[in-house]
Chains A and B, each alone.
Chain A
Amino acid sequence: MPIRVRSLLTAALLLACSGPVLVTATPARAVVLRGRVTVPSPPAADATFKPYAGRASSLPAPERPARGLVTDTVIYVDSSAVEPPGAPAAEHPQLAQKGQAFDPRVVVVAVGGTVDFPNLDPIYHNVFSVSPPRRFDLGKYPRGQSRSITFQKSGQVNVFCDIHSDMAGFILVVPDRHWTRPAADGSYSLPDLPAGRCRLRAWHPDFPARVFEVEVPAAGDVTLDVSL
């Protein structure tokens, strides 16, 4: 159940609690959502992590993408009614297979956007997903080849390799272009927010997502610190 508060301080305090929060922004000249994302200390590296048993011994050990990075956070407007989908971006984001891992670990694409899956490894990979927003199986293909998938439905798409069970990647299909990812220091800014009430979602592959209700004024900045 949403809780209405009056001050940012109170909001920030309450953000520690889970659940959607309605934020009333102070009036500003440009509507930019700013803030800082903080994540819990990253989970200790799993000492029992073992590369896929079938790995060719001539290859270097698989890379192990870091977990719990703040940069893997995606903050986006989770409201399909905000704005009709714009023209697809000319440049496709890439979810490469490199060093027996997905690189980057998290790819964000707007609905209607296409993701390329180039194989940069000297071995075959078989990228697939069983996630409801988009189920696909790219089949096995060697180094230098690439496949593309266009995503028409928003949501989280877990991407795995059918050959290498330790590989896991994420494609977050967001409703439109209103999304951002924080810098390494956790600061982020989400410009051009349409005025009015909107629902913001902070998503991270390693932590539960959080939802915020934000009243965007016609002009001015809104500040929202996110603690996952």
Chain B
Amino acid sequence: MLRVGLRWKILLLTALPLLALAAATLWFVDRGVSARSEENLAGDLRRAADLFENMLSASAAELSVTGAVIVRDPRFFSVLALPHGRHDREFLATVAGVARDFQQLAHPDVFEIVDSRGDVVASVGRMSMVAIGRDTLVTSALAGRAEKRALSQRGAQVLLVGTPVVADDRVVGALLLGREISGALAARLRELTRSEVTFLSDRHITRTTLTEPVDREVARRAASGTVLPDSRPIHDGGWIAQVRPLPMAAEPTQQVYVLQRSLEAETAFLRSVRSHLLELGLLLLAAVTAAALFIAGHITHPIRQLVLAASAMERGEWEARIDRDREDEMGYLATSFDDMRRRQRTYVRSLQEVARAKSEFIAVASHELRTPISIIRGWEDLLRGGLVKPGTPSFVEGLDAIGRACQSLEKIAVSATRMAQSDGSEGPPAPSPCAVEPLLADAVREASAVAPERQVSLTIEVQPEARHAILDRSQVLHALDALIRNGIRFTPDGGSVTVRALASGEDLSIEVRDTGIGLSDEAKARLLDDAYVPHDSRHHHTATGLEFNVAGMGFGLPLVRRVVDGHGGRLIVDGHEGRGSAFTMVFPGARSSGEELGRAA
């Protein structure tokens, strides 16, 4: 549960903020761009309307200028100044000729000449005007006032400019120039402003760039309300529309124009950006999830290893793999855990071994105790029964036998004491400066005391460089004692056991070499295996002494290994069958110059 939990927690912690950030960014960008886009559209429409009105007034101004130039031309007004009747053919022909000449100059859609009576005397444009507002314009022009108007007639809207024609200080007529507010103008405006353009007169569309009836209906709807020059753009049917009265319109409420921008088209880019952002977001989500999974896996892998190893330990399995190679905190944790596990295993195993050894000891001891006790009890019976009289050789023999029996009991007591001490709970070593030679001497003395009758020579050799060391003297003494006793035990009488202290760089090695039975390859392999505890007593060389049996109980080597491990050192086992063996304890960095000892003293 922890494994999944930790991984998912890390995944959520890494991925969720990123996703939230991405989603918030998307939302803000989308919202900001949408608002901005609509604002821009409305602004565009207003500018387009201004542009159109400028175009229209420029067109009107151009017509005015053209009219002013034409009416100032003597060739033009001299004709109108001629006296004429209402249906004077010659006059009309002359005027028509002159009108055609001047019409060529500017090609207005409307080119009408009106005489001073208000009668049309020539109309040479593409269109002729019959609209209501036209008469007002003519009246104004004949009164000497130039005016311009946007008029509507026959489904078309025309920008009309009336100019008085003056000859010899008299108004002799009027010139009407007009330009249609045409589909071409709408198309041009559409090209310039990207807005759809619709002109309406009395709610009927006169010209439009819209092709779809449904879109035209939008324009009609937009123009159906009250139209003010500063009307706000209207949203309708996917369009944003700006309605304004046609400038110079004779009836401003009836003649309007609508500029439309399709939100659909305008926001296409926005939508594409949005979908791209979404794709990017999904991609990001996938990438973040993958990365988070990887990171979570990477972080939790060593933890899972430790968890597995811990649960394996609970089941009594010590071999679960732990990766010690990492150089980060996890590596440190794994290494510490592994070391702890190894110590724990050694400790547990030695405890088990001690327990086993103690029970074996008790079994052996109870057996061994019977012999001296029965000897003592036998002699006691003999003495009590008066069968052996004091002063007789038998009495002396009895006393000697009782003495030897007591000695045996004493030895068993010593062994029991030592056994009691070997409970595997040495605890961590407390190294302190110590002299090596006395340490070795003490160990030899203790070991030899157990088997004084054995004919094995014991030698101590200490290299000058190895005279001082920093070690837990008591622990090392016990380990050395165990090794020496093993050596004595496996060496036949007449053999030798050599204890040497060697220096190698900063390391101190203490070697116990015997000339005993040696070690088979199999035995060596078993000894090198941490789990192996030698307790086989088949190789007892002399099975008569309790000390041999006690020593052979096999709790010595685990002790040695515990002590060496505790010092961070290693145990080297060497030897061949029949040619003796050597056990070397290597204590890294334990060699000392002896100054510490001096200071300690």
A residues lining the B interface (CB < 8 Å): 43, 46, 49, 67, 128-132, 156, 158, 160-162, 164-165, 167-168, 205
Contact = CB atoms under 8 A, between A and B. Distances in A.
Interface stretch (B72-80, B247-255, B307-315, B446-454): B72-80
B75 A168 contact: no
Contacts of B438: none
Contact of A160 (B74, B83, B90, B169): B74
B82 interface: yes
Contacts of A156: 83
B167 interface: yes
A80 B90 CA distance: 22
B74 A132 contact: no
30 contacts: A46-B169, A49-B169, A67-B169, A128-B74, A128-B75, A129-B78, A130-B75, A130-B78, A130-B79, A130-B94, A132-B82, A132-B90, A132-B91, A156-B83, A158-B81, A158-B82, A158-B167, A158-B168, A160-B74, A160-B77, A160-B81, A160-B167, A161-B74, A162-B74, A165-B77, A167-B74, A168-B81, A168-B167, A168-B168, A205-B168
A129 B90 CA distance: 15
Residue in A49, A130, A132, A205 whose Cβ sees the most chain B Cβ within 10 Å: A130
Interface in B54-82: 72-75, 77-79, 81-82
A149 B168 CA distance: 22
Contacts of A128: 74-75, 78
Closest 5 CB pairs of A and B: A168-B168, A160-B74, A160-B78, A165-B74, A162-B74
Residue in A156, A161, A165, A205 whose Cβ sees the most chain B Cβ within 10 Å: A165
Contacts of A131: 82
Contacts of B78: 128-130, 158, 160
B75 A162 contact: yes
A149 to B, nearest CB: 15
Contacts of A167: 74
Nearest to B167: A168
Contacts, number: 43
B98 to A, nearest CB: 8
Contacts of B72: 165
A49 B91 CA distance: 28
Contacts of A160: 74, 77-78, 81, 167
Given A130-B94, A132-B90, A165 B73 contact: yes
A170 B426 CA distance: 149
Given A130-B82, A165-B72, 15 more contacts: A43-B169, A128-B78, A130-B75, A130-B78, A132-B91, A132-B94, A158-B78, A158-B167, A158-B168, A160-B74, A160-B77, A160-B78, A160-B167, A162-B74, A165-B74
A161 B74 CA distance: 7
A128 to B, nearest CB: 7
A168 B82 CA distance: 12
A158 B168 CA distance: 10
A156 B72 CA distance: 22
B143 to A, nearest CB: 13
Contacts of A67: 169
Nearest to A156: B83
B463 to A, nearest CB: 131
B171 to A, nearest CB: 11
Contacts of A164: 74
Contacts of B77: 160, 165
A49 B170 CA distance: 11
B129 to A, nearest CB: 26
Nearest to A208: B83
A165 B77 CA distance: 9
A156 B81 CA distance: 11
Contacts of A168: 81, 167-168
B449 to A, nearest CB: 147
B137 to A, nearest CB: 20
Contacts of B98: 130
A162 B169 CA distance: 16
A226 B75 CA distance: 34
B82 to A, nearest CB: 6
Interface in B233-248: none
B558 to A, nearest CB: 130
Contacts of B168: 158, 168, 205
A78 to B, nearest CB: 14
Nearest to A105: B168
A226 B72 CA distance: 35
A46 B81 CA distance: 18
Nearest to B90: A132
Nearest to B79: A130
A200 B169 CA distance: 28
A128 B77 CA distance: 12
B77 to A, nearest CB: 7
A42 B77 CA distance: 23
Nearest to B168: A168
A109 B531 CA distance: 156
A105 to B, nearest CB: 9
Contacts of A129: 78
Nearest to A205: B168
A182 to B, nearest CB: 21
Interface string B315-343: 00000000000000000000000000000
Residue in B83, B91, B94, B98 whose Cβ sees the most chain A Cβ within 10 Å: B83
Nearest to B91: A132
Contacts of B75: 128, 130, 162
Contacts of B91: 132
Nearest to A155: B83
Contacts of A43: 169
A164 B112 CA distance: 25
B237 to A, nearest CB: 54
B100 to A, nearest CB: 14
A151 to B, nearest CB: 16
A131 B74 CA distance: 13
A47 to B, nearest CB: 11
A179 to B, nearest CB: 18
Contacts of A46: 169
A46 B335 CA distance: 117
A17 to B, nearest CB: 21
A107 to B, nearest CB: 15
Interface string B85-117: 000001100100010000000000000000000
Residue in B77, B82, B98 whose Cβ sees the most chain A Cβ within 10 Å: B82
A143 to B, nearest CB: 20
A119 B75 CA distance: 20
A150 to B, nearest CB: 21
Interface string B549-585: 0000000000000000000000000000000000000
B93 to A, nearest CB: 11
Nearest to A45: B169
Nearest to A48: B144
A161 B75 CA distance: 9
Nearest to A135: B94
Contacts of B74: 128, 160-162, 164-165, 167
Contacts of B73: 165
A165 B72 CA distance: 6
A67 B75 CA distance: 22
B27 to A, nearest CB: 66
A167 B73 CA distance: 12
